[in-house]
């Protein structure tokens, strides 16, 4: 088994599971409005493990 954690959800996984439509999610990222633990999300496929916090700001 590799060190990669394929079961770790991504920002995209968690946001869409929370009901955010893909088109809106892309807009949030393009505008720098989506944060993961206070850091701006630049890539939807970055890991967002349980315990981290996603936040949409300024919407």
> 42 lies in a domain?
yes
Residue 2 in any domain: the answer is: no
The answer, as to whether pTM is greater than 0.85, is no
Does residue 5 lie in a domain region? no
Structural domain tally of the chain?
1
Question: Residue 6 domain-assigned?
Answer: no
Place of tokens 């996984």: 13
In a domain, 29, yes or no: yes
Q: Write out the residue range of the structural domain in which residue 18 sits.
A: 11-56
pLDDT tens, N- to C-terminus, the chain (59 residues): 445 556 899 999 999 999 999 999 999 999 999 999 999 999 999 999 999 999 999 85
Instruction: Report yes or no on 39 lying in a domain.
Output: yes
């Amino acid at each position: 088994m590799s060190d990669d954690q394929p079961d770790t959800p991504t920002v995209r996984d968690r946001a869409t599971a929370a009901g955010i439509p893909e088109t809106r999610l892309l807009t949030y990222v393009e505008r720098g409005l989506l944060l993961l633990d206070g850091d701006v999300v630049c890539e939807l496929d970055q890991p967002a493990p349980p315990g981290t916090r996603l936040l949409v700001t300024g919407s």
